[in-house]
Amino acid sequence: MALGKDESRHGMWSSRWLFVLAAAGSAVGLGNIWKFPYVAGENGGGAFVIIYLVCVALVGLPIMMAETLMGREGRHSPINTMRILSQEGRASGFWGVIGWMGVGAGFLILSYYGVIAGWALYYIFEMARGTFDAVTPETAGQVFDDFLANPWLMLLCQTVFMWLTIYIVGRGVIKGLETAIRLFMPLLFVLLLVLLGYGINSGGFQQGLDFMFRFNWSSIDADAWLIAMGQAFFTLSLGMGAIMAYGAYVPRDASITSTVATIAILDTFVAVAAGLAIFPVVFANGLEPGQGPGLMFVTLPLAFGQLPLGAVFGVVFFVLVSFAAITSAISLTEPALAYLVEEYNAKRARVAKSLGVLCWLLGIGTVLSFNAWQDVKFFGLTFFEAVDFVSQNIMLPLGGLLIALFTAYVMPKAIAQSQLGATDGPLWWLWKLLIGLIAPLGVLVVFIVTLFPCAQTLSCFGA
Ligand code: PHE
């Protein structure tokens, strides 16, 4: 196939807006609606939320710009893009590690992402059955516990989700995504606003607000920093090449800065809205904010159970969450698929299937983490927690660190400037400061503080 110099063989977004939609589709997912509220709850709220927001702004945003511009410059899968960019920058092949590690991280994340998305699918069914009509907190908790105790049912839901994802992925990202995202993203926003309205009237809103934004340093330890940063990477789909892969399909005339800012704002808005919808329900019902991964599955059914037409809203909501999860899952597979297609001229649908089956197999470990293997621990973590921890909190920030360093110090200045449409001037230096210093230093400091918690109080240095 003959390609113009500025095209990707996998296709192109038909406009800048489609990139915004696709990248927002990748970013907005379980990370915002399911994960953000529960990790914020586990880490004491307030200060955690603020650190997370700072990480999004100072570390996430510049790295997202870097990934997009690298993708658009390389116009290939992240693995090959890194090869091309390394040659352009006359750098060693070492930087290819960004692409390879990203494929690994995407694989690990998708393995459990499929399981949790399966929970959302299951809740469509429970909502439709009317299980939660005027439900009590105890029953809502019981329904969730019963579900977790049933590995076969969970496996079935995971299988359905993975099948759907692979089916869509096999047909080609661009075609599959455009329709889904145009329609469902706006609807998801509307429903979150409805839930937010319920939260405001639930009697627990003030407490929920306090919990999320009251600045309480004492709840923050070294691990909380690592988790907040990992969450920033996870929620923006950064550090593993998903955005780089999508960046490869961005038309040349789109402005990267404003595009990326729009995506980050949308993503943050959804996460904060989900938190503001969930925590008031937690407090109005005397529930535990730090209860872990079940938080959304116990609180939101309670809210729907009280709302007029709640079962209908509930069904629609979980359908939308499942869609948000699919659009994210698709982006998790894109770096690996694009590479296999480039390298072996393989058929997309066929490689998608093989990858899907492998992820599905690994996901069985996550399914069992909630029942049969509940007590099997690696360094005190269940299988699910370990896969989640390593991929989100180690691999993504490490990938992000390398991406920042590469863009700042290896990529020729002329290329970066032409991609960003920048010239020497204050804005260019602000960008250099963020990508070359603040973002990489942020990641490094957090890694050091986690490895050596004493660094937090400077006591390692005898202070
Ligand atoms: N950002 C997605 C979410 O919040 C998850 C994701 C992570 C997708 C990394 C792609 C890459 O659910």
Domain count, the chain: 1
Read off the pLDDT band of 168 (50, 70, 90): confident
* Best of 63, 101, 237 for a ligand 1 pocket test (most atoms within 8 Å of beta carbon): 237
Report the chain's mean pLDDT, rounded to a whole number. 91
In a domain, 5, yes or no: no
- Tell me which residue has its CA closest to atom 6 in ligand 1: 237
Among 285, 315, 310, smallest CA distance to 299 is for 285
For range 1-13, the mean pLDDT: 72
* CA separation for the pair 12, 21 (Å, rounded): 13
* CA separation for the pair 76, 57 (Å, rounded): 27
Read off the pLDDT band of 169 (50, 70, 90): confident
For the CA of 32, the nearest atom of ligand 1: 4
In a domain, 448, yes or no: yes
For range 303-327, the mean pLDDT: 90
* CA separation for the pair 273, 299 (Å, rounded): 14
In a domain, 230, yes or no: yes
Among 139, 308, 322, smallest CA distance to 131 is for 139
198 lines ligand 1 (CB under 6 A): no
User: In DSSP terms, which residues pair with 378 in a beta bridge?
Assistant: 381
Q: What is the domain-level CATH number for residue 52?
A: 1.10.4160
pLDDT of 259 > 60? The answer is yes
In a domain, 412, yes or no: yes
In a domain, 430, yes or no: yes
- pLDDT, one tens digit per residue, over 433-463 is 999 999 999 999 988 888 777 766 667 666 5
| C-alpha of residue 270 to centroid of ligand 1, in Å | 13
Q: Residue 415 has which token pair?
A: 């290329």
Contacts for 68 with CB less than 8 Å, ≥ 6 apart: 23, 243, 244, 246, 247, 250, 256, 259, 260
pLDDT for 1 equals 43
pLDDT for 450 equals 80
* CA separation for the pair 178, 405 (Å, rounded): 33
- Tell me which residue has its CA closest to atom 10 in ligand 1: 237
* Best of 39, 107, 188, 235 for a ligand 1 pocket test (most atoms within 8 Å of beta carbon): 235
165 lines ligand 1 (CB under 6 A): no
For the full predicted model, state whether its pTM sits above 0.85.
yes
In a domain, 93, yes or no: yes
For residue 92, give its domain range.
16-455
| C-alpha of residue 29 to centroid of ligand 1, in Å | 6
- pLDDT, one tens digit per residue, over 175-207 is 666 766 777 778 888 888 888 888 898 889 999
In a domain, 3, yes or no: no
Among 291, 266, 352, 330, smallest CA distance to 137 is for 291
Stretch among 158-167, 238-247, 342-351 having the lowest mean pLDDT: 342-351
- pLDDT, one tens digit per residue, over 84-134 is 999 999 999 999 999 999 999 999 999 999 999 999 999 999 999 999 998
b/e map 203-224, b = 16+ CB within 10 Å = ebbebbbebbbeeeeeebebeb
In a domain, 463, yes or no: no
For range 368-383, the mean pLDDT: 95
Q: Residue 183 has which token pair?
A: 């329609």
305 lines ligand 1 (CB under 6 A): no
| C-alpha of residue 380 to centroid of ligand 1, in Å | 25
For range 39-51, the mean pLDDT: 93
